[in-house]
């Protein structure tokens, strides 16, 4: 067998022997990420807060394809519960190699009911910052010591293309997701010397998720018309970006925010 043909047979992404925690992964984008990473060989820990049935279905889907997965209930904004989530991953699979911070506070991309800045209040901002930033902060605080000890790791934070292209100004959500990008870059600077990469995915409006269900048709059509690839994102699109950043192929990429929105945002 030639070297060229041997290379052609290798999987583009190989996560064999690695363990991934995906927060907020019982359904939607998180579930797609969990299934994708499992399909490339990772053992995955599916995290949920309320919907145990959806999380268990995701586990069963992964098992049916020969993958390894468990579901763990935990509010990642709670210190003890986030610690338990990481501890369960270590006890079940021996460590943590990949952390995907996907969980965020409940939000609906409904342009008809969004809070204008003058009509909003700090409580809404606080809820988004708590759900997005606090959860990511706690999860990182628990996994970073493990990754430093093993001198390797991947942290991937799910942000939004609205940070760079606020087509609809969802102020609280965009503020929280923008903060997550800032945390991504500061952590990347500090942790690079330990072999840990930290990156973000700026997801476009993603069809089929609970958060996008209330988006009006005119807004959807406007986004599609502005998108070079001519459609909305799908959960599997976001999952593909995560898999790339989790892999050895992205081993020299850190501190970056990868836009997965069909070219709507170009930087």
User: What residues are annotated to the active site?
Assistant: 173
Give the residue carrying structure tokens 């394809």. Answer: 65
Contact indicator for 200, 242 with CB cutoff of 8 Å: no
Contact indicator for 223, 204 with CB cutoff of 8 Å: yes
Per DSSP (E only), the strands in 108-260 are 153-160, 196-203, 257-260
Rounded to whole angstroms, the Cα distance separating 88 from 96 reads 10
**Is residue 210 helix, strand or coil?**
coil
**Is residue 202 helix, strand or coil?**
strand
Contact indicator for 240, 149 with CB cutoff of 8 Å: no
Contacts of 257 (CB under 8 A, 6+ apart): 159, 181, 184, 199, 200, 201, 202
Rounded to whole angstroms, the Cα distance separating 102 from 84 reads 18
């Amino acid at each position: 067998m030639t070297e060229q043909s041997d290379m052609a047979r290798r999987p583009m992404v190989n996560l064999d022997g690695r363990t991934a925690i995906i927060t907020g992964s019982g359904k939607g984008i998180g579930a797609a990420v969990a299934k994708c990473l499992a399909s490339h060989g990772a053992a995955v820990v599916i995290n949920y807060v309320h919907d145990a049935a959806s999380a268990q279905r995701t586990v069963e889907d992964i098992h049916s394809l020969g993958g390894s997965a468990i579901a763990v209930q935990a509010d990642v904004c709670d210190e003890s519960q986030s610690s338990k989530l990481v501890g369960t991953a270590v006890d079940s699979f021996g460590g943590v190699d990949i952390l995907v911070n996907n969980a965020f506070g409940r939000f609906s991309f409904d342009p008809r009911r969004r809070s204008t800045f003058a009509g909003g209040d700090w409580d809404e901002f606080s809820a988004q910052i708590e759900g997005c930033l606090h959860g990511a902060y706690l999860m990182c605080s628990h996994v970073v010591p493990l990754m430093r000890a093993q001198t390797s790791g991947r942290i991937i934070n799910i942000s939004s293309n609205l940070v760079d292209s606020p087509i609809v100004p969802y102020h609280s959500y965009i503020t929280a997701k923008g903060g997550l990008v800032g945390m991504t870059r500061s952590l990347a600077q500090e942790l690079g010397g330990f072999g840990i990469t930290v990156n973000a995915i700026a997801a476009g409006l993603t069809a089929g998720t609970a958060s996008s269900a209330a988006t009006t048709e005119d807004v959807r059509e406007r986004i599609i018309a502005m998108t070079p690839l001519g459609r909305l994102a799908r959960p599997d699109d976001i999952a593909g970006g995560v898999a790339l950043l989790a892999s050895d192929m992205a081993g020299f990429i850190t501190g970056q925010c990868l836009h997965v929105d069909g070219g709507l945002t170009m930087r």
